Amino acid sequence: MALDDSAKANAAIHLAFEHVENTYCTPTWWTGLDEAARGRLVHRSMTGIGPPGIGRGTSSLANLEPILSQAAVVREAIFTQDPEVVQ
Protein backbone atom coordinates (compact mmCIF):
# COMPACT_ATOMS: atom_id res chain seq x y z
CA MET A 1 0.00 0.00 0.00
CA ALA A 2 1.48 3.34 -1.03
CA LEU A 3 1.26 6.09 1.57
CA ASP A 4 1.59 9.84 1.29
CA ASP A 5 4.60 11.24 3.16
CA SER A 6 2.15 12.79 5.65
CA ALA A 7 0.83 9.32 6.62
CA LYS A 8 4.12 7.44 6.97
CA ALA A 9 4.98 8.54 10.53
CA ASN A 10 1.52 7.49 11.71
CA ALA A 11 1.95 4.12 9.96
CA ALA A 12 5.35 3.64 11.63
CA ILE A 13 3.82 4.14 15.08
CA HIS A 14 1.09 1.60 14.35
CA LEU A 15 3.70 -0.81 12.98
CA ALA A 16 5.73 -0.49 16.19
CA PHE A 17 2.75 -1.21 18.42
CA GLU A 18 1.71 -4.21 16.34
CA HIS A 19 5.02 -5.86 15.43
CA VAL A 20 7.81 -4.63 17.69
CA GLU A 21 8.28 -5.90 21.22
CA ASN A 22 9.03 -3.42 23.98
CA THR A 23 7.53 -0.35 22.35
CA TYR A 24 7.82 2.58 24.73
CA CYS A 25 6.28 6.03 24.82
CA THR A 26 6.33 8.87 27.30
CA PRO A 27 3.63 8.83 29.97
CA THR A 28 2.45 12.28 28.87
CA TRP A 29 2.01 11.09 25.26
CA TRP A 30 0.09 8.01 26.41
CA THR A 31 -2.18 9.88 28.83
CA GLY A 32 -2.73 12.54 26.18
CA LEU A 33 -4.52 9.96 24.03
CA ASP A 34 -8.21 9.42 24.62
CA GLU A 35 -9.32 6.17 26.21
CA ALA A 36 -10.59 4.72 22.92
CA ALA A 37 -7.23 5.35 21.20
CA ARG A 38 -5.33 3.72 24.08
CA GLY A 39 -7.67 0.73 23.90
CA ARG A 40 -7.11 0.31 20.17
CA LEU A 41 -3.34 0.45 20.64
CA VAL A 42 -3.42 -2.11 23.46
CA HIS A 43 -5.50 -4.39 21.25
CA ARG A 44 -3.10 -3.84 18.34
CA SER A 45 -0.11 -4.68 20.55
CA MET A 46 -1.72 -7.98 21.58
CA THR A 47 -2.48 -9.24 18.08
CA GLY A 48 -0.68 -12.46 17.40
CA ILE A 49 0.31 -12.98 21.05
CA GLY A 50 -2.81 -12.43 23.08
CA PRO A 51 -5.63 -14.75 24.08
CA PRO A 52 -7.48 -16.69 21.38
CA GLY A 53 -9.57 -14.46 19.18
CA ILE A 54 -7.05 -11.63 18.85
CA GLY A 55 -5.48 -12.65 15.60
CA ARG A 56 -3.34 -10.70 13.20
CA GLY A 57 -4.70 -10.71 9.69
CA THR A 58 -2.98 -9.95 6.41
CA SER A 59 -4.68 -6.54 6.31
CA SER A 60 -3.96 -5.64 9.93
CA LEU A 61 -2.07 -2.46 9.07
CA ALA A 62 -4.67 -1.35 6.52
CA ASN A 63 -6.50 0.48 9.33
CA LEU A 64 -4.24 3.22 10.71
CA GLU A 65 -6.73 4.69 13.17
CA PRO A 66 -6.37 6.50 15.45
CA ILE A 67 -4.16 9.16 13.84
CA LEU A 68 -1.16 9.35 16.18
CA SER A 69 1.13 11.57 14.12
CA GLN A 70 0.76 13.97 11.25
CA ALA A 71 4.48 14.55 10.82
CA ALA A 72 5.62 14.26 7.22
CA VAL A 73 8.44 11.86 6.42
CA VAL A 74 11.12 13.68 4.45
CA ARG A 75 13.71 10.90 4.12
CA GLU A 76 13.44 7.14 3.88
CA ALA A 77 16.04 4.41 4.27
CA ILE A 78 16.07 0.98 2.68
CA PHE A 79 17.66 -1.76 4.74
CA THR A 80 18.56 -4.84 2.75
CA GLN A 81 21.22 -7.49 2.45
CA ASP A 82 20.62 -7.73 -1.30
CA PRO A 83 23.76 -6.37 -3.06
CA GLU A 84 21.71 -5.76 -6.21
CA VAL A 85 19.50 -3.13 -4.59
CA VAL A 86 20.73 0.34 -5.55
CA GLN A 87 19.93 3.06 -3.05
Reported pTM: 0.68
Which of 3, 1, 5, 2 is closest to 71 using CA atoms?
5
Calpha distance 28→50 (Å, rounded) = 26
* Angle subtended at Cα 19 by Cα 86 and Cα 82, rounded to the nearest 5 degrees: 20
- Structure confidence at residue 30 (pLDDT): 92
- Structure confidence at residue 26 (pLDDT): 92
Average pLDDT per 10 consecutive residues for the chain, totaling 87 residues: 80 86 89 92 77 63 80 77 67
- Structure confidence at residue 47 (pLDDT): 78
